[in-house]
Amino acid sequence: MTLALRPLHPLFAAEASGIDLARPLAPAEVAAVNAAMETHAVLVFRDQPMDQAQQVAMATQFGPLNPGLKQIGRTAERLKEAALIDISNLDAEGRPLPRDSKKIVSGLANQLWHSDSSFQAPAVSYSMLSAVVLPSWGGETEFVDLRAAWDALPERLQRQVEGLEAEHFALHSRMTLLGDTDYTPEQLAALPAVVWPLVRTHPGSGRKLLFCGIHARRILGMGTAEGKMLLMDLLEHATQPQFRYRHDWRVGDLVMWDNRATLHRGRRYDLAEPRELRRTTCDQVPAERARHAA
């Protein structure tokens, strides 16, 4: 079968069908998914349940897997496949953790608008999130298209931000939300801050985009307060409803998105109910490198 696409939003995002992600993909199928991602940036695959090994095998067809915040090593592994990133509120026995546990508190930062691993150099490309267990309400994931956000940015503001650079730091979201400073020097050094231009060109579509998000903590060459206000204004602009697709999960869904073209956030749900999603994230090939902050 061939990949079929049904648009889900006027600007981006599509439902994809016609291929079985649980088996090895043919080169033409990989190429078709890549081409669809260049246009839509978010692909929703319904009814694609996978075990852990199948998800890892599927994801590696799109690039080497990136561990993200697992490099800091603050939580014990719950999943058998070390390459998977556990997006759940569960303990090793599959039970909901206490609301004040470190994993739950840290995971709440996923409800802030972000691009996965924008705090790393080289860049990551796709993330793939598979739904295993869902709560009775909430827990949706929202996405925005940063290319559309750039296109709609007033010309005066486009001229102001083009050429500016922002520093992205792995723990800025946690510290912003939680005031969490309980990190060792070794953990802080594991992911040093990196610098990305505020205006980037998407390598697939060739379109300019506004690269903001909660991991951006300051703008180089600008006063702290002024830079933070500008970052807040840009994030508010980029996350307006007209740029937003909201995904309502079903068990067996796999959603794939391009971190170089989108921001996303999770939504609230009852933390007393089990919720388990498993994520894989790929490094960009060839690598696109940011520079480390001075």
Confidence band of 46 (pLDDT split at 50, 70, 90): very high
Arithmetic mean of pLDDT, 184-193: 75
Arithmetic mean of pLDDT, 113-126: 91
Confidence band of 99 (pLDDT split at 50, 70, 90): very high
**Residue 192 has what pLDDT?**
85
| 290 has pLDDT over 90 | no
Arithmetic mean of pLDDT, 169-182: 71
The pair of three-digit structure tokens given for residue 145, joined into one six-digit string: 């298209």
Beta bridge partners of residue 266, listed in sequence order: 141
In angstroms, the CA 148 to CA 241 distance is 12
Domains recognised in the chain with CATH numbers: 4-292 (3.60.130.10)
Q: Which residue has the higher pLDDT, 249 or 105?
A: 249
Q: From residue 199, give the alpha-carbon distance in Å to each of 62, 212, 269.
A: 25, 9, 34
**Residue 116 has what pLDDT?**
95
Arithmetic mean of pLDDT, 125-130: 98
Strand 42-45 relative to strand 14-17, pairing: parallel
Question: Nearest CA to 3 among 14, 18, 15, 13?
Answer: 18
CA dihedral 64, 69, 73, 74 (to 10 degrees): -150
**Residue 97 has what pLDDT?**
96
Residue type, 82: A
pTM of the model: 0.94
Sign of CA dihedral 121, 230, 185, 105: negative
| 186 has pLDDT over 60 | yes
**Residue 18 has what pLDDT?**
97
